[in-house]
Amino acid sequence: MQFKERLLITAALCLPVFVFSQSTYFSPASKHNHFIDRMEILQGKVVDQNFSTNKPYNRKFAGDLALAFDSLTKAGTIKLSRQDAYNLNSFYANNSEWYNGD
């Protein structure tokens, strides 16, 4: 009985470590992979978070890139096509947990 209690306590203490150690990534077949590459190309410079070499893409960092891209668009630095604007809205809709904007 004492062994089972210790095992249960040990499992309860270790479980949060395993739960918080995972991150969410885009699947390789995701349509957002192409859009992230397109955002980098449209910016025309290397950004702080260089996504070109890191695949699969982490959703949190991709969300930060999208917010930076959106602010450049609103400032008039980058002009979006209708398709790019649709893809940006789709990106925000599918990654709402990482998006805190309006």
27-53 per-position pLDDT tens digit: 777 888 888 888 888 877 655 556 566
User: 48 in a domain, yes or no?
Assistant: yes
Angle at 35 between CA 46 and CA 54, to 5 degrees: 55
**DSSP 8-class letter at 56:** S
- What domain count does the chain have? 1
User: 16 in a domain, yes or no?
Assistant: no
Query: Are the C-beta atoms of 25 and 57 separated by less than 8 Å?
Result: yes
User: 53 in a domain, yes or no?
Assistant: yes
User: 14 in a domain, yes or no?
Assistant: no
User: 15 in a domain, yes or no?
Assistant: no
70-90: per-residue pLDDT in tens? 888 888 888 889 999 999 889
Nearest CA to 78 among 34, 41, 26? 41
User: 55 in a domain, yes or no?
Assistant: yes
Query: Are the C-beta atoms of 69 and 42 separated by less than 8 Å?
Result: yes
User: 84 in a domain, yes or no?
Assistant: yes
Going by pLDDT thresholds of 50, 70 and 90, the confidence category of residue 16 is: low
* Prediction pTM value: 0.66
Nearest CA to 69 among 55, 54, 56, 95? 95
| Distance, CA of 83 to CA of 100 (rounded, Å) | 23
Supply the pLDDT for residue 79: 87
Supply the pLDDT for residue 35: 86
User: 45 in a domain, yes or no?
Assistant: yes
Residue type, 79: K
Domain ranges, residue 85: 24-98
